[in-house]
């Protein structure tokens, strides 16, 4: 358990995007006052389980070829999960149920598993999805948290750290709990390079890093957009969540959706992009991409989910236009 000092959650997000090769995947938990009225151990454990389900099939090699629960799909995915559990010394019945739930798109099919099994296997699954040995849980402490809420959150954080095998970091301020080691993380050099000079100034939500080649598992907007793009022939050649580097000396950053050949970039912004550091980093990225010859479209989650047809139409016009320009250059 570590209390991260002198670095806000917003700063941590920006500094770890894209995820460095040596870093664990960072799972972010942000409770509000209403969420803190609930049992925090149960809430965190359940959110880790949901994250593991949404990351399927990244953690189960071979399952990407199973289209759904029809036919022998369920039996096949359970067999893969049991084999993976045996090879990894994990609890097979729970991993098989987790895989079946992911394949069916629903809750766990059954099994009254011990909380330690559920937390430990879910945390391992999340780490495996990113090809890491372990994951880290970042808990953001609300500024208006009560003493009782703070104690409840700290107790749950202790339990998760002890039972799941995850590293647990706290961002924010603890006023009544002083048992944790505090470390100062100085991110200014990274942040200034990504955002320029910036003054440092929701219902419970779980967030996780994106997997290269796939829409974010925790983004309904990215998943909905990909589902729509799959049906469009003009959308071929797209790639999700790829790292881009302007030149060998530049710091890399991640592109949400990219047509590499056509140099088209589509960014999907969640609410965190309204925070000062994210906003400044986004503007700097857009300018660099445009200087490198890319066309950039940027949409909010609400725009994608609320007016998907318009978003698809605009992206399609851009991709086809850039494709036509490339064809004209070849023919001249």
SS (H, E, C) 79-115: HHHHHHHHHHCCCHHHHHHHHHHHHHCCCCCCCCCCH
> What is the C-alpha to C-alpha distance for residues 237 and 232, in angstroms, rounded to an integer?
11
Task: Say yes or no: 180 and 317 in one domain.
Answer: no
**What pLDDT was estimated at residue 197?**
65
Q: Are 263 and 272 in contact (CB under 8 A)?
A: no
Tell me which residue of 271, 203, 177 sits closest to 47, measured CA to CA: 203
- Its domain, for residue 135, covers 2-207
134 contacts: CB under 8 Å, gap ≥ 6: 24, 123, 127, 165, 166, 167
Question: Which pair of tokens denotes residue 183?
Answer: 């470390």
Q: Tell me: do 198 and 250 sit in the same domain.
A: no
Q: Give, in order, the Cα–Cα distances in Å from 278 to each of 13, 217, 261.
A: 8, 20, 27
Residues 144 and 254 in one domain: no
Report the number of distinct structural domains present in the chain. Answer: 2
Question: What pLDDT does 13 receive?
Answer: 82
pTM for the model: 0.80
- Position 107 in a domain: yes
Same domain, 121 and 6: yes
Q: Per residue of the chain (332 residues), what is the pLDDT tens digit?
A: 787 777 788 888 888 888 888 889 999 998 887 888 899 999 999 999 999 999 999 999 999 999 899 999 999 999 999 999 999 999 999 999 999 999 999 888 777 899 999 999 999 999 999 999 999 999 998 888 888 888 899 999 999 999 999 999 998 887 776 777 676 777 667 667 766 765 544 455 678 899 999 999 999 999 999 999 999 999 999 999 999 999 998 889 999 999 999 999 999 998 777 788 888 889 999 999 999 999 999 999 999 999 999 999 999 999 999 999 999 888 87
**Are residues 148 and 10 located together in one domain of the fold?**
yes
Please report, for the domain that includes residue 269, its CATH number.
Answer: 3.40.960.10
Q: Which residues, other chains included, contact 69 with Cβ-Cβ below 8 Å and sequence gap of 6+?
A: 100, 103, 104
Are 84 and 159 in a shared domain?
Answer: yes
**Final residue of a domain: which of 173, 207, 241?**
207
Which residues, in sequence order, are CB contacts of 165 under 8 Å at separation 6+?
A: 120, 123, 124, 134
Assess whether 60 and 171 both reside in one domain. Answer: yes
Residue with tokens 């996780």: 208
In a shared domain, residues 166 and 271: no
């Amino acid at each position: 358990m570590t209390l991260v000092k002198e670095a806000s959650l917003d700063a941590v997000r920006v500094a770890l995007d894209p995820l460095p090769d040596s870093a664990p995947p960072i799972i972010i938990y942000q409770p509000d006052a209403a969420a803190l009225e609930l049992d925090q151990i149960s809430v965190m454990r359940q959110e880790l389980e949901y994250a593991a389900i949404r990351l399927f099939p990244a953690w189960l090699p071979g399952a990407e070829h199973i289209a759904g629960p029809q036919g022998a799909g369920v039996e096949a995915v359970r067999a893969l999960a049991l084999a993976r559990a045996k090879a990894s010394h994990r609890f097979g019945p729970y991993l098989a149920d987790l895989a079946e739930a992911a394949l069916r798109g629903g809750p766990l099919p059954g099994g009254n598993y011990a909380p330690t099994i559920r937390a430990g296997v879910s945390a391992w699954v999340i780490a495996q999805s990113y090809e890491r040995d372990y994951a880290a849980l970042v808990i953001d402490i609300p500024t208006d948290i009560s003493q009782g809420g703070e104690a409840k959150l700290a107790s749950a954080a202790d339990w998760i750290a002890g039972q799941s095998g995850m590293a647990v970091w706290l961002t924010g301020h603890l006023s009544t709990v002083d048992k944790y080691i505090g470390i100062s993380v100085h991110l200014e050099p990274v942040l200034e390079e990504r955002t320029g000079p910036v003054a440092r100034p929701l219902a419970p939500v779980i967030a996780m890093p994106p997997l290269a080649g796939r829409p974010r598992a925790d983004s309904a907007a990215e998943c909905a957009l990909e589902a729509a793009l799959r049906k469009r022939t003009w959308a071929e050649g797209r790639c999700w969540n790829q790292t881009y580097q302007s030149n060998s000396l530049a710091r890399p950053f991640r592109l949400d959706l990219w047509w590499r050949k056509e140099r088209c970039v589509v960014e999907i912004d969640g609410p965190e992009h309204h925070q000062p550091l994210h906003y400044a980093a986004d503007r700097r990225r857009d300018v660099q991409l445009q200087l490198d010859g890319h066309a950039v479209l940027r949409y909010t989650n609400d725009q994608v989910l609320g007016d998907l047809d318009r978003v698809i139409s605009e992206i399609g016009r851009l991709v086809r236009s850039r494709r036509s320009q490339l064809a004209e250059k070849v023919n001249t």
